[in-house]
A and B are shown apart, each in its own frame.
Chain A
Amino acid sequence: MSAPEMSSSGTPADNGVNVQALLDARKALAEAPEAAKFQWRAQCEWLEGTQSRSTVEGFFGLGEEQKHKSVFTFDADHPEVFASEDRGATPVEIVLAALASCLTAGIASVAQLRNIQLRSVTATVEGGMDIQGILGMDSDVRNGFDGIKVTYTIDADATPDEIKAIVAQSQKRSAVFDALTNPTNVTVEVN
């Protein structure tokens, strides 16, 4: 993370992010890198047709099992144009939302660190996909996205270049951005 700068108005920015805690965590983890090893988890249960329900409750980090304050659930399904029941967003839409959320959290954190007051931040995410891939119709067409575009509209107490720099830095440190732009080993086993 880069050095804090003065906000244009001179008053400290408050985007609601506790960056001091993050900076303290970096210092502490430098001494105890094993504590930095986290494992995120989700459970998923098939309901019916293409509908399933995912539950997020516990994760591992800082050397021990952790639990969220509450249990989070979200359903996924396929839309009617896929001859399905549309009881939830598609998994790929959830991925796009995850990307936007990850980048947005990063923007708030970087802005806080740089003492820049955000007023509003909205993102539109678009992921192109040729469904001949998932339908197995053409082996030259991949299953996944052929490209993803995120468009931010940001109102903040900063110059356009400062805002661009915050958004650029957010990508540099984003977990979901990395997961989508770089290869990841995925193992699927059956009990």
Chain B
Amino acid sequence: MSRCLADRSIDHVVLERGEVANSWKNERWDSLRLLTPNWQSRLPGYGYEGDDPDGFRTMPETIDFIERYADVISAPVRTNTSVTSVRTVDGGYSVATTQGDWRCRTVVIASGACAIASVPAVAEGVPSSIKTFTPMDYRNPDQLEAGGVLVVGASASGTQIASEIHRSGRPVTLSLGEHIRVPRVYRDRDIEWWMDAAGVLDEFYTEVDNLDRVRNVPSLQLAGSDDRRTVDLNSLTDIGVKLIGRFAGINDGKAQFSGSLRNLCEMADLKMNRLLDLIDEWETENPCDGGASPPHRFEPTRVEESPPLGMDLNSGEIQTIVWATGFRPDHSWLDVAVFDRKGRLRHDGGVVEAAGIYLMGIPFLRRRKSSLIDGAADDARDLSDHLAAYLDGAATER
């Protein structure tokens, strides 16, 4: 966004509560890599120039990428500046920060979708003898006691963390609800390549039937790794991870799990097959250079005959719980009446209901790829158009 504003000579400042790439530096686990291939992170005027385009950036590499971008575009960043409030004033907004106040006509909220780890209410009933983590404070298996671990949530974070912890010798039970299964590689190409090429990632928010639903869809079960392994539930079961249903409640120290596990796994398989059908149809109409191996389907998710429905949390079987149950943004500093009855920001594709306020970087903000680094470019272009027109006082056609 800063780059787009600079291109239009719109005077602006970027406020960052920590250092550039703060979340990547402080709120990610050690082994995390981007789950999108290196070539896929394309920022305005900047992309990957290394010799491993199909590889996956590590956290240090991601941090480096973002820091160098900030440098290359000479982004006007004020670091160690936390915004404490944004209020409406005559002519625009008053921004209070830990380093002084600003007045501005427009505000772009780019603080991300993952400021706060969402932990379900059921967590309150967990016995205090069990240590708990979220992906925000989890760093590596050595933080954890020896013994059993319950990982709750089977999206990208949950499956990666479950795999890593189980491989460290701590038996993992994975409690899962709705999840999105995809293979890493299909017909010789990365799944992200297919989704990018076939236009899946460019799907526009106005074309979607139930926008609320798609904005809350869990992240794909994907991980970046040198061996391009798939981190679906079968791969976890193969190494000995035990699957159980959604964490439904705690009664007297006994955790209760939903009996709908089989349905959720089947839905994920069906959804994956619909994506692969779409890819196959697209490839037939757009044959790949160098061809592609024939279409095929993956083994259905294996679910045991009678998955356990309960677990005694006081038995010592579980020493740690990792709540990989999603994230939400932190807009608590925004003192403007633009929230719905569930506390979510009201916006139309990133144009917030209050004049001059814009939102970046949330799932399906404007396109399916909006939650990816790659999505920022198109979103920033669209929204900076709108912002520029707003500053000019002109009407905007979207």
Contact = CB atoms under 8 A, between A and B. Distances in A.
Given A146-B306, A177-B263, 14 more contacts: A33-B341, A161-B274, A164-B266, A165-B267, A168-B266, A169-B267, A171-B260, A171-B263, A172-B263, A181-B258, A181-B260, A182-B258, A182-B260, A183-B251
Interface in B180-238: 209-210
B245 A181 contact: yes
B222 to A, nearest CB: 22
A147 B306 contact: yes
A152 B256 CA distance: 28
A70 to B, nearest CB: 34
A102 to B, nearest CB: 13
A2 interface: yes
Contact of B273 (A33, A161, A180, A183): A161
A3 B208 CA distance: 8
B264 to A, nearest CB: 8
A180 B258 CA distance: 9
Contacts of B256: 182-183
Interface string A1-30: 111000000000000000000000000000
B356 interface: no
Interface string A164-176: 1100110110000
The contact size tier of chain B is: 10 to 19
Contacts of A33: 341
Nearest to A3: B209
A15 to B, nearest CB: 20
A147 B263 CA distance: 14
B266 A181 contact: no
B267 A2 contact: no
B92 interface: no
Contacts of A183: 248-249, 251, 256
B270 A164 contact: yes
Q: Is the interface of A mostly helix, strand, loop or mixed?
A: helix
Contacts of B306: 146-147
A30 B273 CA distance: 32
The contact size tier of chain A is: 10 to 19
Given A180-B259, A181-B258, A172 B267 contact: yes
5 contacts: A161-B273, A172-B267, A177-B263, A182-B260, A183-B256
Please give me the 6 A-B residue pairs with the lowest Cβ-Cβ distance, nearest first: A181-B259, A3-B209, A181-B260, A171-B263, A183-B249, A168-B267
Contacts of B249: 182-183
Nearest to B262: A171
Interface string B328-366: 000000000000010000000000000000000000000
Contacts of B248: 182-183
A165 B263 CA distance: 10
Which of B210, B246, B260 is most buried by chain A, counting CB atoms within 10 A of its CB? B260
A184 B258 CA distance: 11
Which of A177, A180, A183 is most buried by chain B, counting CB atoms within 10 A of its CB? A183
A168 B260 contact: no
A164 B260 CA distance: 15
Contacts of A178: 260
Contacts of B260: 171, 177-178, 181-182
B299 to A, nearest CB: 16
A1 B245 contact: no
A177 B259 CA distance: 9
A171 B259 CA distance: 11
Which of A2, A161, A164, A182 is most buried by chain B, counting CB atoms within 10 A of its CB? A182
Contacts of B210: 1-2
A135 B110 CA distance: 62
